[in-house]
Amino acid sequence: MSSTTIAKLGRHHFSLAEQGRALAVVLAEEFETPFAVYDTETGQPLHQPKDTEPAVPAGGWAHGNLDGLEECPVHVGPLTDGRYPITMLGYREGKPRMIAAAQVPALARTAPEVAQEQKRLHRWLLAVCTRLRQADQGPVRRRPDGDPDAQFKTAWEVILTLDHLLRHVRIHRDPLQSQERILQAAFGLLRVRTLVWVPRSADAPVVIQGDRFLSSWDCRQLATLLNQNAEFQAARMLLCNDFHGSEWGQRYPSIRNLMALTVADQGLLGWVLALDKPAEAGSDGVVPFRRSDAALLTPFVGLLQLHQRGSDRYRDLKELLVGLTRSLTAAIDAKDSYTFGHSERVARSAVELGRELGLHEEELSDIYLAGLLHDIGKIGVPDAILGKKGPLTDEEFEQIKQHPTIGYRILADLKPIRHLLPGVLYHHERYDGKGYPEGLAGEAIPLLARVLAVADSYDAMSTARPYRTAMPHPRVEEILRSGSGSQWDPRIIEAFLRCQDKVREIRQRGVGESLRHALDDALGKDQYSVSVAAVAGALPPTAAVE
């Protein structure tokens, strides 16, 4: 990717909100205090620091009126309550589109010290603003590696790229796609011919960005050979700028220079290889890899490591929950043989109702899992009551009514599926408020529970029980119609009537891949959230300095 393309990415590929968040990260790291960032045209916040009172721009600024900030784009207000209010403009395509504000703690004690400190803070803030403004201007020009402006622009682009990347990478989605995104982002910043991610696992695919002049098999063999080098094993980084003269040059004559970094957690996860660093455009030569190149690549290597670790843990967690859910539903069926398969049918019926209601796939996954688990509390109900062939006494019915609460308590400590608990706890609430355990009414009952209530009632009425035979479908439909608005949500009853043929076709099936897909969506509600500062922290202050 050319320098011009990188510059365009910096100005156009990222939204104003993303640049605002990145600006807040840069300034927070520089001044060690949280910054709020606002849109200068609308006054709307682009970034508000968490757990702190957001600062407002000093100097009486209001959106649309910069009050002299365009002439001097920074402002340091007088000391108030031990803090200096500071304000700085941020630029996008040469225009002041952002304004950052913070409260910086004072160190000075006497009035003369305060005056000097205020002046120093003003100079410091102006220097940072100037650097950021220069980073915003025009395409990247090829400069000596030690040029401070080039260093600052590179760091700014890395932070913007990481901020954008971290908001789109999810560990519960296709891991290969996430790895490709990470590598593509790094390739867009690092001027190399080819960038390769080689996982240690032979079953995992090799990811290549750029010129595919080596096959995946060759890349894996190259990484294996490099890893046998004692220096690489010790330093976890290798710069080889005379590859033809190295021990690997004869085997890979098409490579002219190389940089390799190890990706490791508690053990080796894989390697990132950068092949051939070209000279200026139009030249066939290469320039040496430097430690500054490794520093630039390091945050992306760290993100690959975090993603791999998170993906492994997610896979283990999903397998655990698959086994747990199967075991729990099997335990329910074992206790109440007359309702064998009831939870599976309720889950599938509820999904059909959810589809008819226009719910999204992730919501349907929640409905399916909650349907499987909705009666788990019956484990705590005595077998004699569950299998009783005659009418229940009032005392026995009170024990039956405890199963939603028991199920809630059983599942309450499973944080990844905690959002399913309303379906387990409230699936016996009634729309008119006469249900249990809390007597919720109408919209106060979570939608998940209202959907399960209809699916549960339909299956219970259409299934044979110890004390009665299964009701025919017309009778079940009649009861559901008559209970619309009293026992059940009318909107969900209408959905049932529209899709009742599909619900009737549902038969007992094993819990298989449908459960795994549901867990993929249900567990994936938390985005892979790593703060920009945490990953950018892998980029040292002297990242662009040899």
Q: Which two tokens stand for residue 86?
A: 């500071």
What is the rounded CA–CA span in Å between residue 214 and residue 149?
Answer: 35
The confidence score (pLDDT) of residue 170 equals 58
Q: Which DSSP symbol is given to 468?
A: B
Question: Domain 341-507 falls in which CATH fold?
Answer: Hypothetical protein af1432 (1.10.3210)
Q: Is the pLDDT of residue 196 over 80?
A: yes
What are residue 278's phi and psi, to 5 degrees?
A: -70, 155
3-class secondary structure, 270: strand
Residue 219's pLDDT band, with cuts at 50, 70 and 90, is very high
Q: Which of 58-67, 116-125, 405-414 has the lowest mean pLDDT?
A: 58-67
Whether 207 and 196 have beta carbons less than 8 Å apart is answered as yes
For the beta carbon of residue 253, count every other beta carbon within 10 angstroms: 9
Same fold, 175-310 and 341-507: no
Element (H, E) at 529: none
Written as one string, the DSSP assignment of 64-84 is TB-TTTTTS-EEEPPPBTTEE
30-46 confidence digits (pLDDT tens) = 888 899 999 888 888 88
What is the rounded CA–CA span in Å between residue 367 and residue 446?
Answer: 12
For the beta carbon of residue 492, count every other beta carbon within 10 angstroms: 24
Q: Over pLDDT 90: what percentage of the chain?
A: 24
469-482 confidence digits (pLDDT tens) = 778 888 999 999 99
3-class secondary structure, 194: strand
**pLDDT higher at 450 or 136:** 450
Complete edge-to-edge strand list for the sheet that includes strand 237-240: 207-210, 194-199, 268-275, 258-264, 237-240
3-class secondary structure, 318: helix
For the beta carbon of residue 494, count every other beta carbon within 10 angstroms: 13
Q: Is the pLDDT of residue 1 over 80?
A: no
Question: Domain 3-141 falls in which CATH fold?
Answer: Beta-Lactamase (3.30.450)
Q: Which of 144-153, 228-237, 304-313 has the lowest mean pLDDT?
A: 144-153
Residue 496's pLDDT band, with cuts at 50, 70 and 90, is very high
Whether 273 and 223 have beta carbons less than 8 Å apart is answered as yes
Q: Which two tokens stand for residue 30?
A: 């520089």
The confidence score (pLDDT) of residue 541 equals 38
Whether 322 and 515 have beta carbons less than 8 Å apart is answered as yes
Q: In the chain, what are the domain boundaries?
A: 3-141, 175-310, 341-507
Q: Which DSSP symbol is given to 278?
A: B
Q: Which two tokens stand for residue 509?
A: 């099936």
339-381 confidence digits (pLDDT tens) = 667 888 888 899 999 999 999 877 888 898 888 888 888 888 8
Tell me which residue has tokens 């894989």.
270
What is the rounded CA–CA span in Å between residue 401 and residue 203?
Answer: 50
What is the rounded CA–CA span in Å between residue 18 and residue 77?
Answer: 27
Tell me which residue has tokens 């030690």.
146
Whole-angstrom CA distances from 263 to 111, 144, 158 are 53, 29, 19
**pLDDT higher at 341 or 516:** 341
Residue 531's pLDDT band, with cuts at 50, 70 and 90, is very low
Whether 175 and 303 have beta carbons less than 8 Å apart is answered as no
Q: Is the pLDDT of residue 297 over 60?
A: yes
Element (H, E) at 118: helix 111-136
Q: Work out whether the CA dihedral 372, 378, 380, 386 comes out positive or negative.
A: negative
83-118 confidence digits (pLDDT tens) = 899 998 888 878 888 999 999 888 887 888 888 888
**pLDDT higher at 535 or 167:** 167
Domain 175-310 listed as CATH 3.30.450.40: yes
Q: What is the pTM of this model?
A: 0.47
Q: Is the pLDDT of residue 173 over 60?
A: no
For the beta carbon of residue 3, count every other beta carbon within 10 angstroms: 14
